[in-house]
Amino acid sequence: MENVASLAVLLAFCVAIYALLASLIGRLKHKPFLVVSGERAVYSVWVLISIGSGILVYALVTGDFRFSYVAEHSNRAMPLLYKVAAWWGGQEGSLLFWSWLLSTYSAVVVFTNRRKHRDMMPYVVSVLMFVQTFFLLLNNFVSGPFKMLAVEGSITAVQDGNGLNPLLQYPAMAIHPPMLYLGYVGFAVPFAFAIASLITRQPGDAWIHTTRRWTLVTWLFQSTGIMLGAAWAYHVLGWGGYWGWDPVENASLLPWLSGTAFLHSVMMQEKKGMMKVWNMALVSVTFFLCIFGTSLTRTGLVNSVHAFAQGPLGKYFVSFLAITIAATVYLILDRLDYLKSEAELESVVSRESSFLFNNLILLASCFAVLWGTLFPVISELSIFGGEKISLDKEWFDRLMIPLGLFLLLLTGLGPLFAWRRTSFESLRRNFQWPGIASLVLIGVLVAAGVRNYYALIAFGFCLFVALTVLMEFYKGAHAIGAKTHMNLLRATVELTHRNTRRYGGYLVHMGIVLMFIGFTGAAFNQKDVKELNIGDTFQLGHYSLKALDLQNGDTPVYSWNRAVIQVSRGGDVLGTLEPEKRFYKASRQGTSEVGVRPRLNEDLYLNFGGMSDDGQRAIIQAYIFPLVSWIWLGGLVLIGGTLVCLIPSKVKLQYARTEVVGIARNYAEVPK
C-alpha cells in the first residue's frame, strides 16, 4: 500500500511536469491537442495526489503504525476527527495536503474555464503546474510522508503512536489549518491568471473579472482561518490571549493584509482603469507572502512557539521564491506599456484617494509586520549591528494600533467619498451626525473616567463608522421602501440584494468595527492569581469566586484535574465554572481547559494553573476580559458580509468608466 502511495505521488510529479510543458509548448507552437492533453494531465495530477493522500488518511484512521508519520501523529485512542486532522498536523502530511489542495484548485480552474479564456488558459495551467511541481518535489524528495519504520531492513510497526499534539486536539484547531491553507493555496489562482494576462499582453481586466469571486472566496477562507486561530489561542492556551504577534500568526496575517489591499484596489481598476501595475504587483506580493508564510513555519528561519520542525526545506523555498519573484518582476517591467492608467487622481478628498490611502496603510502594516517578524534575521546583518534582536508584542502594538485606527477611520470615510472629488456639502451631509455622536460618546467616556487615549479614539471611531454604515443602509432602504411600500426590513434586504457587492462590503466593514470594539476591550483587562483551598473565596472585579471542590479522573486519552469554582456577584450566585488541567498520556503533555463565562460586556475566564507544591491548594488564574465576545461576533458578521458579496446582484450593474482625463480636467466643479 505504501508503495502504491509513493508511486502515485511520484507519478503526480511527472505528470505535473508534463502538464506544465505540454501547455506551454502547445500554446507556443499552436498545437491544440497538446494544450488539451495538458489540461487533462491536471485532472490526472489531482487523481494521483488524491490516491496518495487517501492512503495516508486511511493509514492514520486505521492506525497503520508501520508508517513513521502515523506513529508520530496518530494513536489508537484519538477520536476520528483528530485522526483525520493528523493529515495536516505534521510537517510531511501538511505539505502533501498543500499539494492536494493546489491540485484540487487547479482541476476546478481547468474545469470551469474549459470554454473560456482559451488564449490565457495554457499559461494559467503552466503557472499552476509550476507551483504544483515545486510542492510535489518537496513531497517526493525532501519531506516524504510515506517513510516506513524498520528494524534492520525489515518493516515493523510500533504498538501505538504518539498522537496528535494535544494542543491541536480541539475542534476549532482541527479545521483551522485547512482554512488557512485553502486561503494560502487559493491565491495561486489569481496570481496564475495575472501572469497569464501579462504574458498574453491582455489589454483589459479579464483576469480581474474572472478571479474576483475566486479572490473573495480565498480571502474568506483566510479570514476564517485567522479568526479560528485566534479563538483557539483564546480558549486553549490558558492566558486568554488571542493574538501575540508570534511569527507564525504574523505569517497568516501578511497575505491577508495584502490580499485585503488587493480586493480594494481592483475596484479602482474595474471602475476607473487605474492602478493596473499596482494590482499586478499586489496579487503577486500576496502569492509570495502565502508561500513565505508556508515556509516560515517549516524552515526555522525565525523562532516560534508554533513552528514545525526545522528541516532542510529552507533552501528550496528560497530558490522557488527567488525564481518566481524574478520572473514576475521581469514580466511586469517588460509589459508596462499594457498597464497604463486610464485616469489620474484629481482630489485628495475623493474615493480614489481613499483607496490609495487604504492601500498605503494596509501595505505599510504588511511591511511593518514583515519587518518585525524578520527582525531577528535582519538585525544579524552587520549593517544593522550584527546582534540578533527580537521585537515583541510591545513593538507591534506600538505600530499596529495607530495603523489599525487610521484604517478604521478610512473604513468609515472611504465608501462615502464620491469618485473624483467630494463637495463640502456632501461631506457635511454624510458625516455631521456620526461625527457629533462619536464626539459625544468620547465626552461621556471621559466623564466616566476612561483615560486611555487609544481606547477613547477607538470607541469614537467605531461609533462613527458604525453610524455611517447604518445611515447608508437606512437611506437606501428608506428610498426603496417609499417607492414600493415595503417595510424597512424587507427594503433593506431588497437593497442589499440589488447591489450585493456594495452592501456586502458594508457588512464586512461592520464586522471590522465590531472586532475593533472587542480589541479595544483589552485596554481594560483585569487579572489575578490565587491559591485556593476548598471553601476559599476571593474577589476579582465585581465577581466573587469560591472554590467548591477539586476533582480528578481518568480517560483513555488523558487524565485530568478539575477545580469547581462558584461565581457570584453582589451576593447572587451566577453559576459554576470548571477549569481543568489535562495530561495527555501518549504525548505526555499537559493542556488547559479553561472555564469561561462569556457575556457581551465581558468574559470571566478561569484557568486551573495546577496544584501548589504541597498538593493542597489549587492555583487559579482569573481574568476579566471586557468585550472580547465582540471579536467573535465581528468575525461572524465579516463572514456573513463576504458571503453576501458572493451572491450575484439582482440588478446587473454596468459601470461606465468615467471620461478620459483630458475631458474631465475641463470641469471646474463636477456637475451634480
**279-308: which residues touch another protein (CB under 8 A)?**
303, 305-308
Which 155-174 positions form the footprint of another protein (CB under 8 A)?
Answer: 155-156, 158-160, 162, 165-167
DSSP states of 234-298: HHHSSS--S----HHHHHHHHHHHHHHHHHHHHHHHHHH---HHHHHHHHHHHHHHHHHHHHHHH
Smallest distance, Å, CB 560 to another protein?
Answer: 13
Helices 351-378 and 276-299: crossing angle in degrees, nearest 10, is: 30
HSE at residue 309, side-chain half, CA atoms within 13 A, is: 11
Nearest-approach distance from CB 256 to another protein, in angstroms:
19
Residue 148 interacts with another protein (CB under 8 A): yes or no? yes
Cβ(12)–Cβ(27) below 8 Å:
no
Whichever of 144 and 255 has its CB closer to another protein, that residue is 144
State which of residues 36, 391, 409, 486 lies at the interface with another protein (CB under 8 A): 391
**Nearest-approach distance from CB 505 to another protein, in angstroms:** 23
Binding test (CB under 8 A) with another protein, winner from 118, 201, 209, 388: 388
How many residues does this entry show for the chain?
672
Contact between 587 and another protein per CB under 8 A: yes
Residue 496 beta carbon to another protein: minimum distance, rounded to whole angstroms: 33
With respect to another protein, which residue has the nearer C-beta, 20 or 167?
167
Q: By CB under 8 A, tell whether 666 contacts another protein.
A: no
CB of 473 to another protein, least distance (A): 30
Contact 93, 56 (CB under 8 A): yes
321, 399, 450, 486: residue in contact with another protein (rule CB under 8 A): 399
Question: Are the C-beta atoms of 192 and 108 separated by less than 8 Å?
Answer: no
- According to CB under 8 A, which residues from 90 to 109 bind another protein? 90-91
Cβ(105)–Cβ(186) below 8 Å: yes
Q: How far is the CB of 409 from another protein (least distance, A)?
A: 12
Q: What is the largest CA-CA distance in the chain?
A: 86
Determine, following the binding rule CB under 8 A, whether residue 403 of this chain makes contact with another protein.
yes
Q: Which residue has the cell 513565505?
A: 292
Cβ 606 to another protein shortest distance, Å: 11
Specify the residue, 403 or 437, whose C-beta has the smaller distance to another protein: 403
Applying CB under 8 A, does 389 fall inside the site for another protein?
Answer: yes
User: 166: which DSSP letter?
Assistant: G
* Residue numbers 512-571 binding another protein by CB under 8 A: 527, 529
Distance CA 612, CA 615 (A): 5
Assess contact for 180 and 226: CB atoms under 8 A: yes
Shortest approach of another protein to residue 355 CB, angstroms? Answer: 12
Positions in 213-242 near another protein (CB under 8 A): 237-239
- Residues in binding contact with another protein, number by CB under 8 A: 78
Which residues, numbered 6-35, are part of the site for another protein (CB under 8 A)? 6, 9-10
DSSP assignment letter at 488: H
Is 665 a binder of another protein (CB under 8 A)?
no
Between CA 178 and CA 376, with CA 219 as vertex, the angle to 5 degrees is 75
Which residue, 575 or 662, has its beta carbon nearer to another protein? Answer: 662
CB 577 within 8 A of CB 567: yes
SS (H, E, C) 187-228: CHHHHHHHHHHHHCCCCCCHHHHHHHHHHHHHHHHHHHHHHH
Cell numbers of 649, please? 446582484
- 382 belongs to the binding site for another protein (CB under 8 A): no
Pick between residue 9 and residue 296 the one whose CB is nearest to another protein: 9
Site string for another protein, 339-358 (x = CB under 8 A): ------xxxx----x--xx-
Residue 87, C-beta contacts closer than 8 angstroms, at least 6 positions apart? 53, 56, 57, 60, 93, 94, 96, 97
297: number of CA atoms within 13 Å, CB side?
25
Of 192, 244, 240, 187, the closest CA to residue 218 belongs to 187
The smaller minimum CB distance to another protein, of residues 160 and 549, is found at: 160
Among 29, 33, 80, 153, indicate the residue that binds another protein (CB under 8 A): 153
If the CB atoms of residues 361 and 491 are measured against another protein, the closer one turns out to be 361
